[in-house]
């Protein structure tokens, strides 16, 4: 895995939601390799245990997991209180956790809609709200949205709506938190292959066709470190003049015109 070298993160603290698998796990690794302490939140205890044993064993005790269901505001508040007790200052908050529901409008239930919105959107706001006492001058918030915030396939309504809302939340927070010198930005990943970074029973080697790569102007499907490096950049002082924006990390797919003959 190739990550940017960012010495400025040594002895800094990053909080990452959904940190036990996929993009979140690789973001945790990126901060750890750059010397940061990381507190990650995830609700999947099997994924947490597998991540600690298979990917993060070399970085203890600089990494800690808190089991938290982000759909439950009470658990979010309790988890944030644990974070605040463990560290006086938070330098980076990465709101990465996300779920989807790929059902038709007729099939999806209100409960399924609410779960997606609550985890993907409401939890990001609650994390900022509850951790605000520890987010000070120079801190950065990075929200992981999606290219589905502005383009869609069928049956993606709750996911797309939550990610679109996350982009709006990003620029709203950027303005509200500007007086505190806290920057807030979003990343919209496209197709990122994370099969190798799932919990053990779901982990597998990526199986990608040549056409999967060729359809991307960049010539390949995305890797989780592509997003993790974008997180490092937006969390660092190199992006000190950037706030309230979205960074699209999709190999050029959203600017590619496609015609069918």
**pLDDT tens digits along 210-222:** 999 999 999 999 9
- What mean pLDDT comes out for the span 155-168? 97
Reference 15, options 131, 170, 149; nearest CA is 131
Tens of pLDDT, residue by residue over 120-151, are: 999 999 999 999 999 999 999 999 999 999 99
Could you give the dihedral angle defined by the CA atoms of residues 57, 13, 31 and 44, in that order, rounded to the nearest 10 degrees?
60
3-state DSSP call for residue 202? Answer: helix
Q: What pLDDT sits at residue 257?
A: 86
- What mean pLDDT comes out for the span 4-14? 95
Q: Would you say 185 and 245 are in contact if contact means Cβ atoms under 8 Å apart? A: yes
CA distance 239 to 251: 21
- Read off φ and ψ for residue 100, nearest 5 degrees: -135, 165
Active-site residue 259, yes or no? no
Tens of pLDDT, residue by residue over 77-96, are: 999 999 999 998 999 999 99
User: 230: Cβ–Cβ under 8 A, 6 or more apart, which residues?
Assistant: 187, 247, 249
Q: What pLDDT sits at residue 209?
A: 95
Instruction: Put residue 75 in one of left, alpha, beta given phi > 0 → left and psi -120 to 50 → alpha.
Output: alpha
3-state DSSP call for residue 71? Answer: coil
pTM, to two decimals = 0.96
Please, which pLDDT band fits residue 258 given cuts at 50, 70 and 90? confident
Tens of pLDDT, residue by residue over 56-69, are: 999 999 999 999 99
pLDDT higher than 60, residue 25: yes
Least confident of 59-68, 204-213, 241-250: 204-213
Q: What is the average pLDDT value for the chain, to the nearest integer? A: 96
CATH architecture of 10-255: 3-Layer(aba) Sandwich (3.40)
Strand order in the sheet with 37-42: 63-67, 37-42, 13-17, 90-95, 135-144, 183-189, 246-249
Could you tell me the two tokens for 242?
A: 């950037």
pLDDT higher than 70, residue 2: yes
Tens of pLDDT, residue by residue over 105-121, are: 999 999 999 999 999 99
pLDDT higher than 60, residue 261: no
The partner residues of 95 in beta bridges, in order of sequence, read 143
């Amino acid at each position: 895995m190739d990550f940017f070298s960012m010495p400025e993160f040594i002895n800094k603290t990053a909080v990452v939601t959904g940190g036990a698998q996929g993009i979140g796990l690789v973001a945790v690794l990126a901060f750890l390799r750059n010397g940061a302490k990381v507190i990650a939140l995830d609700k999947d205890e099997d994924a947490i245990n597998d991540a600690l044993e298979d990917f993060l064993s070399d970085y203890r005790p600089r990494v800690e997991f808190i089991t938290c269901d982000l759909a439950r505001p009470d658990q979010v508040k309790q988890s944030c209180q644990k974070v605040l007790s463990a560290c006086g200052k938070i330098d980076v908050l990465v709101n990465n956790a996300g779920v989807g529901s790929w059902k038709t409008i007729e099939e999806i239930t209100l409960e399924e809609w609410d779960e997606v919105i609550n985890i993907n959107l409401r939890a990001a706001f609650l994390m900022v709200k509850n951790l605000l006492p520890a987010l000070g001058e120079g801190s950065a918030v990075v929200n992981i949205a999606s290219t589905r915030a502005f383009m869609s396939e069928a049956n993606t309504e709750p996911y797309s709506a939550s990610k679109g809302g996350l982009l709006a939340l990003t620029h709203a927070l950027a303005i509200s938190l500007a007086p505190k010198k806290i920057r807030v930005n979003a990343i919209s990943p496209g197709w990122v292959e994370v099969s190798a970074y799932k919990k053990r029973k779901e982990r597998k080697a990526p199986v990608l066709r040549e056409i999967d790569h060729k359809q991307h102007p960049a010539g390949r499907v995305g890797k989780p470190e592509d997003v993790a490096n974008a997180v490092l950049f937006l969390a660092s002082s190199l992006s000190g003049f950037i706030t309230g924006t979205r960074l699209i990390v999709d190999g050029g797919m959203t600017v590619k015109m496609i015609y069918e003959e």
